[in-house]
Amino acid sequence: MTATRSGRGSEHFEITYYVACSIDGFIADAEGRLDWLRPFEQTGDDYGYAAFYESVDAVVLGRSTFDFVRDMPEWPYEDKPTWVFSHASLGALPRRAVATVEEPVAFAARLRAHGYRHVYLVGGGRLAASFRAAGLITRYVVSVVPVILGGGLPMIGPGGGVERLECIRSEAFPSGIVQLEYASASRTA
């Protein structure tokens, strides 16, 4: 087995959508705010995020998520090559971040060919939908937050057909968050 950037076998290529959502399936409220997540981030538990982040060798974001993250005090992906999907002009980008409009299948094939083995799809739901529609998301790590928002931005936008998933892990945290990990099992158009 060939050694790679991630230490995994050369045949291994994973795109993981790692996301927190309300129990009614939203990743942000209707205005794109995440304040409802804050109390759960202040528990001292990282819900396995640091270990997950360590396992990835590339990061992808949609433009709306990028706009949100860019406003944070520090760019959190400085140590990983990052691609921002957008047709807009984004201005100056953080270190190691580049904009792209590449079609997701070609993009994933290019990363794979360059030796990347585990891509972190940060979101949001519209970018996830375009990757999912192309059959590219191989793993979902969903932290289900015990909050009902009653509306907002969906975890995955529409389209892409039915996809059956295999649950490979579930873990309950003292805060009430339940983290579910799924591998994509099969898809019908």
- Which residues are near ligand NAP by CB under 6 A? 19-21, 27-28, 32, 34, 62-65, 68, 85-88, 101, 104, 122-127, 130, 153
Which is nearer to ligand NAP, 18 or 116 (by Cβ)?
Answer: 18
Q: What is the Rg, in whole angstroms, of the alpha carbon atoms belonging to the chain? A: 16
Determine contact, residues 137/184, Cβ cutoff 8 Å: yes
- In the complex, what is the shortest distance from the CB of residue 167 to ligand NAP, in angstroms, rounded to a whole number? 19
Q: Residue 76: left (phi > 0), alpha (psi -120 to 50), or beta?
A: alpha
Which is nearer to ligand NAP, 2 or 158 (by Cβ)?
Answer: 158
Residue at shortest CB range from ligand NAP: 124
Which is nearer to ligand NAP, 104 or 160 (by Cβ)?
Answer: 104
Residue 141 CA to its chain's centroid (Å): 8
- In the complex, what is the shortest distance from the CB of residue 3 to ligand NAP, in angstroms, rounded to a whole number? 31
How far apart (Å, rounded) are the C-alpha atoms in residues 131 and 139?
12
- In the complex, what is the shortest distance from the CB of residue 11 to ligand NAP, in angstroms, rounded to a whole number? 25
- In the complex, what is the shortest distance from the CB of residue 85 to ligand NAP, in angstroms, rounded to a whole number? 4
Tell me the helices (H) and strands (E) count for the chain, helix number first.
Answer: 5, 10
Which is nearer to ligand NAP, 25 or 81 (by Cβ)?
Answer: 25
Which is nearer to ligand NAP, 104 or 138 (by Cβ)?
Answer: 104
Q: Residue 135: left (phi > 0), alpha (psi -120 to 50), or beta?
A: left
- In the complex, what is the shortest distance from the CB of residue 106 to ligand NAP, in angstroms, rounded to a whole number? 11
Alpha carbon dihedral 137, 142, 147, 152, in 10-degree steps, equals -10
Determine contact, residues 111/138, Cβ cutoff 8 Å: no
Which is nearer to ligand NAP, 59 or 118 (by Cβ)?
Answer: 59
Listed residue (18, 22, 15) closest to 154, CA to CA: 22
- In the complex, what is the shortest distance from the CB of residue 86 to ligand NAP, in angstroms, rounded to a whole number? 3
